[in-house]
A and B are shown apart, each in its own frame.
Chain A
Amino acid sequence: MIEVPLATGARTTAGEAIEALVRDYPGIRDRVLDEQGELRRHVNIFIDGNNARFMGGLKAEAGADSEMWIHPALSGGARS
């Protein structure tokens, strides 16, 4: 796990936070988002413990003191 403090202002969105991360970790955008800018199917973002997918996706808002987690989803099945 890598913990990265981001200075993004009082309020930011999940998408803006990812773009802020890209400055120091340029490979992260294409791992987390597909080429159309959508969150990959098996990646989840949590903001203060809430799944961003149900809070507007990449437009989900975070506050200045929020914690945002990027998780590979726990998924699998017959084809795994």
Chain B
Amino acid sequence: MATTHAKTLSPAAGDLMLMVGTVKGAFIFLCDGKRGDFKMSGPHFPGQSVWSAAFIGKGAPRIVVGNKSNHWGAMVSWSDDFGATWNEPTEGNVKFPKGSGESLSAIWALEAETPLGPDVVLAGVDPAAMFRSDDRGETFRLNEGLFKHPDRPKWNPGFGGLCLHSILVHPCEPGRMYAAISSGGIYRSDDGGESWNACVNGLRVHPDVPGATLCPHKIRFDGENPSRMYLQSHPGVYRTDNEARSWVTIENGLPSDFGFPMVTHPRHGGTIYTFPLTSDEFRVPRDGAPRVWRSRDAGGSWEPLGKGLPDRDGFFTVLRDAFSADALDPAGLYFGTRGGQLYGSNDEGESWRAITEFLPPVLCVKTAVVH
């Protein structure tokens, strides 16, 4: 299997696309449904960091990305031809209100194809806030309810900033949605985003830091039951079975309670994946042997998956948005590293291969099956 470069990509229905954001641009990978050889294009937005990406497959296909120039600021850009050309908004399209005192740093999350509608794109940003687009990512407006939440003064930026990194919209009740903020907590809205309540019962804060706030790293819905969610936190790995009213720890059996991503199987309830790191203080795989850890019983037990991954001298980190599953059967899994490797598995994590090894540090990996 090989990965070859292509100036432009022309997907067919059923093809798999990986949208990979790095600190120096975005790369798009394409293969057919058999997931053999990939073609890659990029870098798109050379020199800019690309923190988030999403695919709108209904209607005319569109890729949206959250790109950031360290000089000229951050924005949502879009391509209607799979990256052959890009549209950057003339004026910034994700902006805090004048007089609010806040200015956009980066767009950490983009969610499209949610139950809110085919034209809706949600954005999670640093400093922590949510924005909504009703025109397929071209213009956005601030979610005032979360922005004015009384907890806001207690939120504190982590190493990565004060980021709203996870947005989940309930698949059957679109008025119910969740947002996770580092460091801030997990919030749920039952009225379409008008009001938000903290959902942190059972979570623990860092025991050694007085005044520390909750720092969820990634939340995901269960593949079958949206009342159930999973959380990789800082520290801890958790599950909720009651729509985030309370959380229980599921880290027993893992080599560490620290990591960034949380991935769930697209169909099999209870099957989840993490990428544990040694500790908060030493953010690399234990003993230099990177492993994906899988549970098939909702966190009751865990098994390491490492066939094809380095057995030694593998000291890379996988960030929270750099690990995703595809929707094919069997499910494919993909993660990018801060060392620039992109690994993939066609067999639900049983074995892994390097799709490419020399990218800039990877910030996000998103998948889409072209309709």
CB under 8 Å from chain A, chain B span 195-216: none
A36 CA to B127 CA in the complex, in Å?
14
A42 CA to B90 CA in the complex, in Å?
20
> Given the known A-B contacts A34-B103, A36-B101, are A75 and B90 also in contact in the complex, defined by CB atoms under 8 Å?
no
A26 CA to B91 CA in the complex, in Å?
7
Chain A residue nearest to B99 (CB atoms) is: A36
Q: Are A35 and B96 interface neighbours, CB within 8 A?
A: yes
Chain B residue nearest to A25 (CB atoms) is: B90
Chain B residue nearest to A30 (CB atoms) is: B92
Residues of A within 8 A of B91 (CB): 26-27, 29-30
Q: Are B71 and A43 interface neighbours, CB within 8 A?
A: yes
> Given the known A-B contacts A26-B91, A29-B91, A30-B91, are A36 and B103 also in contact in the complex, defined by CB atoms under 8 Å?
yes
CB under 8 Å from chain A, chain B span 61-104: 69-73, 88-92, 95-104
> Given the known A-B contacts A26-B91, A34-B103, are A43 and B72 also in contact in the complex, defined by CB atoms under 8 Å?
yes
CB under 8 Å from chain B, chain A span 52-80: 72-73, 75, 79-80
Task: Select the residue from B23, B73, B98 with max chain A CB neighbours within 10 A.
Answer: B73
**CB-contact partner of B70 in A27, A36, A42, under 8 A:** A42
Name B residues whose Cβ lies closer than 8 Å to a Cβ of A: 23, 69-73, 88-92, 95-104
A6 CA to B228 CA in the complex, in Å?
60
Residues of B within 8 A of A31 (CB): 69, 71-73
Name A residues whose Cβ lies closer than 8 Å to a Cβ of B: 26-27, 29-32, 34-38, 40, 42-43, 72-73, 75, 79-80
> Given the known A-B contacts A40-B71, A40-B72, A73-B71, are A35 and B103 also in contact in the complex, defined by CB atoms under 8 Å?
yes
- Nearest-CB distance from A69 to chain B (Å)? 14
Q: Are B71 and A35 interface neighbours, CB within 8 A?
A: no
Q: List 26 A-B contacts (CB under 8 A).
A: A26-B90, A26-B91, A27-B91, A30-B73, A31-B69, A31-B72, A32-B72, A35-B95, A35-B98, A35-B102, A35-B104, A36-B96, A36-B99, A36-B101, A37-B98, A38-B103, A40-B72, A42-B71, A43-B71, A43-B72, A72-B71, A72-B72, A73-B71, A75-B70, A80-B23, A80-B70
Chain B residue nearest to A73 (CB atoms) is: B71
Task: Select the residue from A36, A38, A73, A80 with max chain B CB neighbours within 10 A.
Answer: A36
Complex A-B, nearest 3 residue pairs according to Cβ-Cβ distance, in ascending order: A30-B92, A34-B103, A31-B72
Residues of B within 8 A of A43 (CB): 71-72
Task: Select the residue from A34, A43, A80 with max chain B CB neighbours within 10 A.
Answer: A34
In the complex, how many residue pairs between chain A and chain B have their CB atoms under 8 Å apart? 50
Known: A27-B90, A38-B103, A80-B23. 12 other contacts (CB 8 A): A29-B91, A30-B92, A34-B103, A35-B97, A35-B104, A36-B100, A36-B102, A37-B98, A40-B71, A43-B72, A72-B72, A80-B70
Majority SS at the chain A contact face: loop
A79 CA to B234 CA in the complex, in Å?
22
Residues of A within 8 A of B23 (CB): 79-80
Chain A residue nearest to B75 (CB atoms) is: A30
Chain B residue nearest to A40 (CB atoms) is: B73
**CB-contact partner of A36 in B71, B89, B98, under 8 A:** B98
A73 CA to B71 CA in the complex, in Å?
7
- Nearest-CB distance from A29 to chain B (Å)? 7
Q: Are A34 and B104 interface neighbours, CB within 8 A?
A: yes
Chain B residue nearest to A71 (CB atoms) is: B71
A13 CA to B89 CA in the complex, in Å?
27
A29 CA to B205 CA in the complex, in Å?
41
A34 CA to B104 CA in the complex, in Å?
8
- Nearest-CB distance from A15 to chain B (Å)? 14
Residues of A within 8 A of B103 (CB): 34-36, 38
Chain B residue nearest to A44 (CB atoms) is: B71
Residues of B within 8 A of A30 (CB): 73, 91-92, 95
Q: Are A35 and B72 interface neighbours, CB within 8 A?
A: no
A63 CA to B88 CA in the complex, in Å?
34
A34 CA to B106 CA in the complex, in Å?
12
- Nearest-CB distance from B3 to chain A (Å)? 26
- Nearest-CB distance from B259 to chain A (Å)? 21
Chain B residue nearest to A75 (CB atoms) is: B70
